[in-house]
Amino acid sequence: MAVNIKKLPKKPYVMPGHAACPGCPESMGFKYLGMALGDKAVVVIPAGCSSVIQGLWPRQGFGLPILNIVFAAAASTASGLARALKRRGVDAQVVVWAGDGGTADIGFQALSAAAERGEDIIYICVDNEAYMNTGIQRSGLTPYGAWTTTTHTGKRQFKKPLPQIVAAHRVPYVATTSVGYPWDFIAKLKKAASIRGFKYIHLHAPCPVGWRFDPSLTAKIAQLAVETGAWILYEYENGKLRLNPPSNRLIDPEKRKPVEEYLKLQGRFRHLKPEDVEMIKKEIETNWEEITRALKIQGDL
Amino acid sequence: MAVSESEESRKRGVVAVVEPAGHKLPLSMAGPGAMGKTGYWRTQRPVVNTEKCTGCYLCWLYCPDNVIEMVPGKGPRGQDIPVIDYDYCKGCGVCAAVCPVKAIDMVDESKFLAKEKEEGDGNA
């Protein structure tokens, strides 16, 4: 599904003057959500940066109907909302817009339960790789070696493979995407909206404040993460795995940029020793091996 | 007379809904400036060079604050050009970083304002 940038809706779904930090990937991503789904979307937001970005009463910074809810209940609230709207005959698509803490750690049981029940919602995990809103604490999705205020010498554990965990629930659609590739995100949202059942999209969102880089580099760092192979764009459609551009040509390690290019721009990796960089490279290799193995079993490689 | 919250909210152009139990709830309505004029946060000011601009829409697409509006056919070569709302632009510089032809320059805000003031005095 190709996206023509010039034909995207001009209606503002993120209002100027909201409360996000300069260069925020979440408000960028929310814009694409509005562009893809339009006024059909009803958004459930658990605690996180996005509940703050909306700003102060009587104005709000997001141009879609929003229900703010507690951390642990995002997916269960969305389930009820989707069923109620369906019963009332409202043509709407309920979307959960949760952070990585609200997805991988605190909201995980509700997410898993909603996936198992096959609720008709789109669950978007906006992964900025730590609890940014409360002051950059580590989460289950913080990568190896990253500095946070609770891992001063770098995290010693690896990132949870959340898209694979959700795909193991055998839901109809699971995808990973990045704010650096808005056309990819918009196309995946449109595809997800056309499928009935539980859909999960994992959005990689580099945070200038928490990752310690210049706010102008948000989109560039998101693109570098993909080009170096540290973040892989793929989708599971009815259990069938497919790599998406530009990740599909990066299956050959020769074509990937060196991961140091991605790491050196970020202050959170400043303290890394050469052996830590080796560990990160090994983790990237393991992720790609898993993908390659799955593609081979399918007979696509 | 004491104004109840819902009346207050109606005064300020905010819809108050009545839920089934009869309570009136104030609702925030989407609109610009939820945190006031965020242009005051800016230290770097994006300035568009319309001569270089090709009208590719990338700055408009990536702008996290949605302050860029594309004006069709207003460029010197008839291309669409971006117009930035400086009341709300936070000066993050994402637009300048994603521009493929480097048509957006980030200039120091305080120097820009000083220069503008100087020129303004000269004209008067």
Of A22, A28, A59, the CB nearest to B28: A59
Q: Which residues contact A181 (CB under 8 A, 6 or more apart)?
A: A222, A223, A226, A233, A246
Residue carrying the six token digits 């109840």: B4
Does B8 touch chain A if contact means CB atoms closer than 8 Å?
A: no
pLDDT averaged over every residue in chain A: 94
Burial of A169 (0-12, 13-18, 19+ CB in 10 A): middle
Q: What pLDDT sits at residue A186? A: 96
Within-domain flag for A16: no
- pLDDT tens for A163-212 read 999 999 999 999 999 999 999 999 999 999 999 999 999 999 999 999 99
At residue A206, the pLDDT reads: 96
Using CA atoms, how far apart are residues A260 and A253, in angstroms rounded to an integer? 14
Q: What whole-number distance in Å separates Cα of residue A51 and Cα of residue A98? A: 9
Using the beta-carbon criterion (under 8 Å), do B30 and A217 form an inter-chain contact? no
Residue A130 lies in a domain: yes
Could you give the CA distance from residue A179 to residue A226 in angstroms, rounded to a whole number? 11
Helix (H) or strand (E) holding A117: helix A108-117
Average pLDDT over every residue of A112-139: 95
CB-CB contact of B107 with B47 (8 Å): yes
> B interface mutation test: which of A57, A178, A186 has the most B CBs within 10 A?
A57
Domains of chain B, first to last:
1-30 (no CATH), 38-123 (3.30.70.20)
* Res. A3 pLDDT band, cuts 50 70 90: confident
* β-sheet bridge partners, residue A44: A67, A96
Average pLDDT over residues A121-130: 96
ipTM: 0.92
List C-alpha distances in Å: A5 to A184, A230, A234.
11, 26, 21
pLDDT in tens, chain B (124 residues): 333 444 444 444 455 666 667 776 667 788 888 888 999 999 999 999 999 999 999 999 999 999 999 999 888 999 999 999 999 999 999 999 999 999 999 999 999 999 988 887 765 5
B32 Cβ under 8 Å from any chain A Cβ? yes
DSSP letter string over B34-103?
A: BTB-GGGG-SEEEEE-TTT-----HHHHH-TT--EEEETT-STTS--EEEE-TTT-----HHHHH-TT--
Instruction: Note whether B19 contacts A: Cβ–Cβ < 8 A.
Output: no
Most B CBs within 10 A among A4, A8, A18, A214, hence the mutation to make, goes to: A18
On whether residue A292 sits in a domain, the answer given is yes
DSSP A26-90: HHHHHHHHHHHHGGGEEEEEESSHHHHHT-STTEESBSS-EEEE-GGGHHHHHHHHHHHHHHTT-
Report the domain count for chain A.
1
**A220 contacts chain B (CB < 8 A):** yes
Amino acid A35: pLDDT: 94
Count CB atoms within 10 A of the CB of residue A147.
24
Chain B residue with minimal CA distance to A63? B30
Residue A123 belongs to a domain with what CATH number? 3.40.50.970
- What's the whole-number mean pLDDT along residues A103-116? 95
Q: Strand pairing partners for A267? A: none
Domain range for residue A178? Answer: 23-298
A188 assigned to some structural domain: yes
Phi-psi region of A197 (alpha: psi -120 to 50; beta: other; left: phi over 0): left
Rounded distance, CA B94 to CA A251, Å? 29
A34–chain B Cβ distance below 8 A for any pair: no
For B120, list phi and psi in degrees, rounded to 5: -60, -40
Choose among B12, B35, B63: nearest Cβ to A17.
Answer: B35
Asked if A59 reaches chain B (Cβ–Cβ under 8 Å), the answer is yes
- The predicted model scores a pTM of 0.92
Neighboring chain A residues of B90 at a CB cutoff of 8 Å: 21-23
Interface contacts A/B by beta carbons within 8 Å: 130
Structural domain includes residue A65: yes
CA gap A26, A207 in Å, rounded: 8
Strand partners of residue A14: A62
Give domain status of residue A150, yes or no.
Answer: yes
Does A262 score more than 50 pLDDT?
A: yes
**In this predicted structure, what is the pLDDT of residue B55?**
92
Q: How many Å apart are CA B56 and CA B62, to the nearest integer?
A: 12
Closest CA to B68 of B99, B30, B29, B41: B99
- In sequence order, the β-bridge partners of residue A42 are A94
Residue A8 falls inside a structural domain: no
Instruction: Report the pLDDT value the prediction gives residue A55, as an integer from 0 to 100.
Output: 87
Minimum distance, in Å, between the CA of residue A24 and any CA atom of chain B: 6
Residues of chain A contacting residue B80, judged by C-beta atoms under 8 Å apart: 6
Q: Using H for helix, E for strand and C for coil, what is the string for A188-254?
A: HHHHHHCCCCCEEEEEECCCHHHHCCCHHHHHHHHHHHHHCCCCCCEEEECCEEEECCCHHHHHCHH
Predicted local confidence at residue A57, as pLDDT: 79
pLDDT tens, residue by residue, A18-44: 999 999 999 999 999 999 999 999 999
CA distances from A178 to A172, A218, B13 (A): 20, 11, 37
Q: What is the mean pLDDT of residues A239-266?
A: 93
Q: Which residue of A has its CA nearest to B64?
A: A28
Q: What's the per-residue H, E or C state across A143-189?
A: CCCCCECCECCCCCCCCCCHHHHHHCCCCCEEEEEECCCHHHHHHHH
* pLDDT above 90 as % of chain A: 93
Measured between its terminal Cα atoms, the distance across chain B in Å is 50
Residue A260: inside a domain? yes
